[in-house]
């Protein structure tokens, strides 16, 4: 059983005709990060920017990892990348622009091995 201090709950929402279903999972990050090959970004720094840029341009470049953890490159982040790609922002301006955005972290499960560390807890219709 995962310890409270080292586990994290996460949620997945699915929509259907009778409403939305939220599935709740748990992962012991300490164990998963120890057992898996992890690419981790603690902040949207130069390495993260390059990774997100290359992933956007070339597609799935993180094939060598079981888990990828770091800031989410969501729609607002991609708007900044679009401005950078079209030359309207320099790399430095794009990075500065991203610093003022509220970025949330995500954990991406890339392999079957990484998925073996999650535990389904329950689902609820909302």
Per-residue pLDDT, 116: 95
The pLDDT, as a whole number, for residue 3 is: 33
Task: Provide the CB-side half-sphere exposure for 23 (13 A, CA).
Answer: 7
Q: Using an 8 Å Cβ cutoff, are 12 and 23 in contact? A: yes
**Residue pointed to by tokens 């922002």:** 89
Cα–Cα distance for residue pair 96/94, rounded to 1 Å: 5
Q: Minimum mean pLDDT among 6-10, 55-59, 102-106, 119-123: which range?
A: 6-10
pLDDT at 2: 34
pTM exceeds 0.75, yes or no: no
Does the pLDDT at position 62 exceed 90?
A: no
Q: Where are the domains of the chain?
A: 7-121
DSSP secondary structure letter of residue 84? H
pLDDT, the chain, mean: 80
């Amino acid at each position: 059983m995962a310890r409270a201090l080292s586990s994290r709950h996460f949620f997945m929402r699915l929509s259907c005709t009778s409403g939305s279903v939220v599935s709740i999972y748990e992962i012991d990050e300490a164990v998963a990060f120890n057992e898996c090959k992890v690419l981790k970004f603690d902040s949207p720094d130069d390495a993260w920017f390059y990774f997100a840029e290359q992933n956007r341009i070339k597609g799935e470049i993180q094939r060598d990892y079981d888990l990828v953890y770091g800031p989410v490159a969501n729609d607002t982040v991609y708007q900044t990348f679009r401005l950078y790609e079209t030359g309207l922002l320099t790399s430095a301006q794009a990075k500065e622009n991203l610093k003022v955005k509220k970025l949330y972290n995500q954990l991406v499960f890339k392999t079957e091995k990484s998925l073996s560390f999650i535990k389904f807890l329950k689902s609820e219709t909302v």
